[in-house]
Amino acid sequence: MRKGPHRLRRVVPALLIAMLAGGAADKPAPDDVKRWRQAFTRPNHVPAPAGNSTTIEKVQLGAALFEDTRLSGSGTVSCSGCHQAELSFSDGIDRHPGLDGEPLDRRTPPLWNMAWGLSWFWDGRSASLEAQAAIPIEDKREMGGDLKRAIEALAADPLMRESFAAAFPEDPAVTRDNLMKALAAFERTLVSPQTRFDRWVKGDDEALDQDELAGLSLFAGKAGCVACHQGWRFTDEAFHDIGLHSEDKGRGPILGVKAADHAFKTPSLCERVWSAPYMHDGSLAAFEDVVDHYANGIVDRPTLSADLPRSIELSKTERAQLVAFLNTLSSDDPPRPASLPPRTITWGATVSQKDRRFSPGAILLKAGEALRILNDDTRTHNVRVGWPEHELQLRRPESRRHGDPRLRPVGSLRHHLRHSSRDAPERGRDLSHQSPEHRALRNLIPFWLI
Ligand code: HEC
Ligand code: HEC
């Protein structure tokens, strides 16, 4: 339901640009293109700390716990109640109501690409994902839970005992430590899928249109955004005061340093189309408002970040181009991570596609297991199957049985994987030369249609 306004918002800037364009922006210089492509290249490895490697069993357990209301005091609140997959694991509102009915102090942040984080929370007060997970559970206004009681409740459930034993063979018990590790391991699998911008970074010159490229030029140039929104996740993982009206002191009280007052962690910009409103207080409703803020909304105060341009002149067209560029960092539809729990994910073997939508949207396959794709479409298919760095593009010839309304098989994944590694030896090598984490995770295969 939230989709309508979001999609509309993404169309508007394009129209606006078309209306205002007049002088077309120059193409970026080849040197800039080269530099940007290097700066925004994705890593091909999902990091995990030494003490908590990512395994399928842990991820499955963590995904289930993420949905489990037994972690809360009232038995009614789960992590996913606030961190909703379709909204980039945020919740679509400025500040979520706490258990006392009053809005929480800050907005629910999206959870994509947490594996690469260096500190957590808007003010960076948590030093690891493992440590972070305990805080919302015991926070009086978030989940109002008690970890000891939650552990007892989980340990009384034979299925949970089994899942913990499978996830932690060396310490097969329902403990606080294992609970945190499983939640963190699940969160590390939330890697945002590649978008049009990533295709451009990889060398596809056609992936961005002229206005989006002009937006990138502004982002990396005159508008100065890249001073803080750096790298493939578009964050320097540092803390800055960008002059919002909020009274919240942010990083300052954590460090006990006044100069850090009003500073908040630079958010990533990946998949942000789906996580409006923006900022730590949810005070800006849309990308347009964000760009207007940087152009002429900054509150002047001594703590403002040295990296923040104080006065940027941005024409209407340029603002629309910046927004157009920001949109290319998000998928066209809200992406679903493959590691979601059974409500949305099922174990192998059959996926149906109706009206160009797969159901389930993601599926867990055991290595070597074949996947059947059933489908009501007669056109040629490109099925993108992938862990972000290891996508395979599958193409089927036109079906001869036009107009058949029944679902019918259009392919099997095992066939395609074999087929595609013969066609693309490099990709085949990729799949077999992965870190242990990747070897475990390559069984989690998300599906979507392009
Ligand atoms: C009632 C809503 C709510 C619930 C339930 C909730 N969170 Fe959050 N979450 C938030 C808010 C709000 C913040 C930001 C708080 C801050 O920065 O001070 C946050 C921050 C986070 C962060 C930090 C993200 C970042 O970018 O630094 C992570 C990770 C996270 N939550 C995971 C979880 C997990 C795991 C659970 C379940 C155990 C959970 N949350 C339950 C609202 C919620
Ligand atoms: C000085 C560092 C800095 C610069 C320069 C900067 N940003 Fe930010 N950006 C931040 C920080 C910090 C936040 C979060 C602030 C807060 O919530 O208090 C943020 C928030 C955002 C958000 C909201 C993300 C979310 O999920 O809430 C967007 C979008 C954004 N910036 C885009 C831009 C654009 C576009 C530019 C250039 C015009 C830019 N930024 C320049 C540091 C910076």
Least confident of 28-42, 67-81, 315-329, 425-439: 425-439
Q: Per mean pLDDT, which range of 16-30, 129-143, 293-307 is the poorest?
A: 16-30
- Pairing assessment for the beta strands 350-354 and 381-387 based on DSSP bridges: unpaired
pLDDT value of residue 370: 58
Q: Which residue has the higher pLDDT, 284 or 386?
A: 284
pLDDT attached to residue 284: 95
Query: How many Å apart are CA 107 and CA 279, to the nearest integer?
Result: 7
pLDDT at residue number 201 = 97
* pLDDT above 50: residue 5: no
What pLDDT, on a 0 to 100 scale, did the predictor assign at position 337? 78
Question: Which of 4-8, 185-189, 402-406 has the lowest average pLDDT?
Answer: 402-406
The pocket around ligand 2, CB under 6 angstroms, is made up of 223-225, 227-229, 240, 242, 244, 264, 266-267, 269, 272, 275, 278-280, 287, 290-291, 294, 305, 307-308, 322, 326
Given a cut of 70, whether residue 366 has pLDDT beyond it is: no
- How far apart are alpha carbons 276 and 49 in whole angstroms? 31
| Ligand 1 proximity of 142 Cβ (cutoff 6 Å) | yes
Residue type, 322: L
pLDDT at 344: 45
Please give the structure tokens belonging to residue 203: 């060398």
Give the Å distances, CA to CA, from 332 to 3, 210, 234, 335, 358.
10, 18, 19, 8, 15
Give the model's pLDDT for residue 209.
95
What per-residue confidence (pLDDT) applies to 314? 96
| Listed residue (312, 52, 48) closest to 168, CA to CA | 52
Residue 228 Cα to ligand 2 midpoint, Å, equals 8
Contacts of residue 28, Cβ cutoff 8 Å, sequence gap at least 6: 36, 213, 216, 217
Q: Provide the pLDDT for residue 289.
A: 95
Answer whether residue 434 shows pLDDT above 90: no
- Is residue 85 very low, low, confident or very high in pLDDT (cuts 50, 70, 90)? confident
The confidence score (pLDDT) of residue 353 equals: 63
Ligand 1 midpoint to CA 377 (Å): 40
Say if residue 325's pLDDT is above 60: yes
Closest by CA to 240, choosing from 326, 186, 304, 172, is 304
Separation between Cα atoms, residue 179 and residue 164, nearest integer Å: 8
Average pLDDT for residues 402-414, to the nearest whole number? 36
Alpha-carbon distances of 230 from 161, 227, 318, rounded to whole Å: 42, 7, 20
Q: Which ligand is nearest to the CA of 124?
A: 1
Cα dihedral across residues 119, 120, 121, 122: positive or negative: positive
What's the pLDDT score for residue 92?
Answer: 85
Mean pLDDT (whole number) for 405-418: 36
Residue that is written with structure tokens 């459930």 in the block: 157
The span from the CA of 348 to the CA of 330, in Å, is 28
**pLDDT digits 0-9 by tens, 176-199:** 999 999 999 999 999 999 999 999
Q: Which of 35-44, 52-61, 275-284, 351-360 has the lowest mean pLDDT?
A: 351-360
Q: Is the pLDDT of residue 433 over 60?
A: no
| Burial environment of residue 384 by CB neighbours within 10 A (0 to 12, 13 to 18, 19 or more) | middle
Check pocket membership of 114 for ligand 1, CB cut-off 6 A. yes
Higher local confidence (pLDDT), 423 or 75: 75
Closest atom of ligand 2 relative to the 281 alpha carbon: 17
Pocket mutation for ligand 2, best pick of 89, 228, 273, 291 (most atoms within 8 Å of C-beta):
228
Higher pLDDT, 398 or 309: 309
**pLDDT score recorded for residue 404:** 33
Q: Pairing relation of β-strands 239-240 and 264-265?
A: antiparallel
Question: Which of 408 and 289 is assigned the larger pLDDT?
Answer: 289
CB 270 near ligand 1, within 6 Å: no
Please report the pLDDT score of residue 407 as a whole number. 36
Please work out whether the CB of residue 104 comes within 6 Å of at least one atom of ligand 1.
yes
Indicate which residue's Cα is closest to atom 16 of ligand 1: 121
Q: What is the pLDDT of residues 240-295, one digit of tens each?
A: 999 999 999 999 999 999 999 999 999 999 999 989 999 999 999 999 999 999 99
Q: Report whether residue 268 contacts ligand 1, using a CB cutoff of 6 Å.
A: no
Average pLDDT on 213-217 reads 97
Structure tokens at 326: 């920001």
Residue identified by tokens 């391991």 is: 185
Categorize the per-residue pLDDT at 73 as very low, low, confident or very high, splitting at 50, 70 and 90: very high
On average, the pLDDT of the chain sits at 79
Q: Whose CA is nearest to atom 6 of ligand 2?
A: 225
Q: Which of 1-10, 254-263, 316-325 has the lowest mean pLDDT?
A: 1-10
Average pLDDT over residues 416-423: 30
pLDDT in tens, 88-137: 999 888 999 899 989 999 999 999 999 999 999 999 999 999 999 999 99
pLDDT for 335 equals 82
Output 66 or 372, whichever has higher pLDDT: 66
* Contacts for 50 with CB less than 8 Å, ≥ 6 apart: none
Tokens 């800050």 sit at which residue? 106
Structural contact between residues 364 and 348, judged by C-beta atoms closer than 8 angstroms: yes
pLDDT at 237: 97
Q: How far is the CA of 170 from the centre of ligand 1 (A)?
A: 29
Please state, as a whole number, how many other Cβ atoms lie within 10 Å of the Cβ of residue 298. Answer: 18
Band (pLDDT 50/70/90 cuts) for residue 311 is: confident
Question: Separation of 378 CA from ligand 1 center, angstroms?
Answer: 44
SS (H, E, C) the chain: CCHHHHHHHHHHHHHHHHHHCCCCCCCCCHHHHHHHHHHCCCCCCCCCCCCCCCCHHHHHHHHHHHCCHHHCCCCCCCHHHHCEHHHCCECCCCCCECCCCCECCCCCCCCCCHHHCCCECCCCCECCHHHHHHHHHHCCCCCCCCHHHHHHHHHCCHHHHHHHHHHCCCCCCCCHHHHHHHHHHHHHCCCCCCCHHHHHHCCCHHHCCHHHHHHHHHHHCCCCHHHCCCCCCCCCCCEECCCCCCCCCEHHHHHCCHHHCCEEECCCCCCHHHHCCECCCCCECCHHHHHHHHHHCCCCCCCCCCCCCCCCCCCHHHHHHHHHHHHCCCCCCCCCCCCCCCCCEEECCEEEEECCEEECCEEECCCCCCCEEEECCCCCEEEEEEECCEEEEEEECCCCCCCCCCCEEEEEHHHHHHHHHHHCHHHHHHHHCCCHHHHHHCCEEEEEEC
